[in-house]
Amino acid sequence: EQALREVGSRLSGLTAEEAEEKLAHFGPNEVSQLKRLKPLQDLVKRLKSPLVLQLLVIAAVSAAIGEAKSTVIVSAMVLLSVGLSFVLDRRSSQAVERLGKRVQSRTLVLRDGQETEVRIAEVVPGDIVVLHAGSLIPADVRLITAKDFFVSESALTGESLPVEKTAAVPPSAPATSLELPNACFFGTWVESGTAQALVLRTGQRTLFGALSQRLAEERPETDFDRGVRDFTFLMMRMMLVMVALVFLIVGLTKKNWVEALLFGLSVSVGLTPEMLPMMLTVNLAKGALSMAKKKVIVKRLPAIQNFGAVDVLCTDKTGTLTQDRVVLEKHVDILGNPSEEVLNYAYLNSFFQTGLRNLIDRAILEYADLDTSECRLVDELPFDFQRRRMSVVVEYEGDHVLICKGAVEEIFSCCSRYQIEDEIYPIVPAIRADLFEEVEKLNRDGFRVLGIAYREFGREKTTFTVEDESDLILLGYIAFFDPPKESADEALKLLQKAGVQVKVLTGDNALVTEKVCRDVGLSVERVVTGAQLASLSPEELENVVEEAQVFVKLTPTQKEEVVAALRRNGHVVGFLGDGINDAPALRAADVGISVDSGVDVAKEAADIVLLEKSLLVLEEG
């Protein structure tokens, strides 16, 4: 109610007139994309390159002293090199735009008490939005109601598993706004369930909007830019010295100071490498064409040199080292032994539940294909956030069997017995800790663990309530994981052979990330969390980024800070990312690398776009 009052709304939503007034006040719900220069502005910026400016000065000097031939040659080389790089970069950027997947442009809101479809740009603070599976979250919102509601925040956090969301107010304030269980953010999308939510922030005021504003800042100077600048200044110093010496020598010997000046200027023209910009552009363009054959699109030609000079590659975990999907890895009894009975009961639970199947249910059903023809659904107790479990009652082997699946702690609280093979034992306080050993082991290995329990009833009972989820028999556990890519191990070895260090920067937790790194053969000597980074001074940060290989629970700003610290230490840094949270780091790196399936803002910030999200493609490119 307080939130509704603060944004001037009500549970029935805004009226059409109120929405128009708010739209005029707050502006359209749009996030400004990375500012792209107009063609003329782009050409002027390229002409401001120190090397190009030097050649333009030489062309002017040549014209002043009557060297028409030199003037034409130098001017032609400048125009050809600038024009070629301009055309190729524009073509690459247009290719990336064509790869962009347009997000849905409309959403459902309550206007005048009725569900109305409006453009996302017309959503205003105070709107009540109606969300369902597949919906894009159109703004930063607070949930009012939610049922079986799971949201994919991978674009913001990098975590592949959907996050449970509920309308309940958390008992204590979380460390970051992303951890709020009753809030959803622009740019994420609904994996399953339904909800109504109150719009709090739109456009540039959203979390996504704040990140996108960072992209409007001036790009930092890259290693290639510094190299060209230093070379140009070196040439200019050498030319000044030579022109001064020639001017003095000729002037003192010939006593004709005008002729000495003209001769000195002619020497400066002769010393100028007129063909250098053209040679650079042609070679970079040839490299871009070769890389295109390796599934790599180069948006900015200078990025090729930076790409080849990279000695530290920072990458996210999800989809790069892993397959970016959830699979069922283990089905075990409480002792950790593989159990077909656990798999059978988990399969029946996922198969017969009638709600929207989430990633977990789909992973179970993809893992096995069991015959359910002799089973029949009797009743169902849907998932909710208070119980954190769901049950189906199935007619199975002559009984009505209640099969319960959910969070281990919640399942355990409903159990009075446990089963090992065919034997059933009572749960007594003395062995409760022992029963959790296998769960703790799986959690340490980075698995997401769910409990499976059951209870048998007579066939005469056909109606069930939550109270029947008691006196259950704990059967075992099912463990899920985002498996590593088969190509990751080989790619890491090739990158190491090429002298490239790989550092993992992720928003995921330490246990999962360490498990993935071990599986792909990446040595992990030190893991640093976002909370630890936040307490470091700039000098301490520069030391830590050298020692650590894995950084977990990072915010977008912290990813950018890690990249910047590595660059200050003298490294040429590449960053591979595809999410909204990766955009600041992509822009801060010497070479930002995204993928064709990445969000638009990440591809905008990147210098290079991969047509396949794999370190192997990166190494080949």
In angstroms, the CA 360 to CA 351 distance is 12
Residues in contact with 307: Cβ distance below 8 Å, sequence separation at least 6, in sequence order: 574, 591, 607, 608, 621
Residue 421, number of CB atoms within 10 A of its CB: 10
The residues facing 143 across adjacent strands are 197
In angstroms, the CA 65 to CA 112 distance is 78
- The 3-state secondary structure of 205-233 reads HCHHHHHHHHCCCCCCCCHHHHHHHHHHH
Identity (one letter) of the amino acid at 469?
E
Burial bucket for residue 380 (CB in 10 Å: 0-12, 13-18, 19+): middle
DSSP letters for 89-121: HHHHHHHHHHHPPPPP-EEEEEETTEEEEEEGG
Is 578 a known active-site residue?
no
Q: Residues 68, 46: contact at Cβ < 8 Å?
A: no
Identity (one letter) of the amino acid at 11?
L
In angstroms, the CA 471 to CA 391 distance is 14
Identity (one letter) of the amino acid at 354?
T
Q: Residue written as tokens 């396949």?
A: 612
Residues in contact with 10: Cβ distance below 8 Å, sequence separation at least 6, in sequence order: 4
In angstroms, the CA 454 to CA 452 distance is 7
For 590, which DSSP code?
A: S
- Catalytic pick from 316, 582, 596, 607? 316
Q: Residue written as tokens 């119980």?
A: 387
In angstroms, the CA 23 to CA 120 distance is 12
In angstroms, the CA 58 to CA 519 distance is 58
What are the C-alpha distances in Å from 599 to residues 17, 372, 425, 538? Answer: 34, 40, 52, 31
In angstroms, the CA 100 to CA 320 distance is 19
In angstroms, the CA 507 to CA 153 distance is 10
Nearest by Cα to 199 from 384, 386, 18, 33 = 18
In angstroms, the CA 176 to CA 271 distance is 59
User: What do you get for the CA distance between the two ends of the chain, in Å?
Assistant: 55
In angstroms, the CA 609 to CA 102 distance is 17
In angstroms, the CA 210 to CA 57 distance is 42
Angle at 93 between CA 91 and CA 97, to 5 degrees: 115
- The 3-state secondary structure of 109-152 reads EEECCEEEEEEHHHCCCCCEEEECCCCECCCEEEEEEEEEEEEE
* Cα-to-chain-centroid distance, residue 577: 5
Nearest by Cα to 192 from 60, 334, 24, 362 = 362
Catalytic residues: 316
